[in-house]
Amino acid sequence: MSERAETGRRAEDLAAAFLAAKGFEIVERNFRAKAGEIDVVARDGDEMVFVEVRARSGRGYGGAAASVDAGKRRRVIRAARVWLAARGWEGPCRFDVVAFDAGRLEHIPAAFTADA
């Protein structure tokens, strides 16, 4: 596994542990569809949460959260629609970002919407 892939895997592990400690139920990890990928699918109360995890070693180029650009948001939204249809979920959902910048974790609930 490349160093970049290992960093991403560790960040996803830490994000899932952080969310679980906050009371989220981790439903699925690394969901892949032709449309895109979802790093973490979690349930927060009555909401299904699709979480994009990003990690950067520094804050250059706008940092990890800023790297979730319009294209990435579209791919996550498309993958979420596939997940929702496959699982038959009809309840509320949202899109969160967990960003790691130089080891510092930032959770951004409702970071973007499906209208984005």
**What is the CATH classification number for the domain harbouring 10?**
3.40.1350.10
Q: What is the pTM of this model?
A: 0.92
pLDDT by 10-residue block (mean), the chain, 116 residues: 79 96 98 96 98 81 86 96 96 96 91 86
> In the chain, how many domains are there?
1
- Domain with 46 in it: 3-112
Identify residue 29 by its one-letter amino acid code.
Answer: R
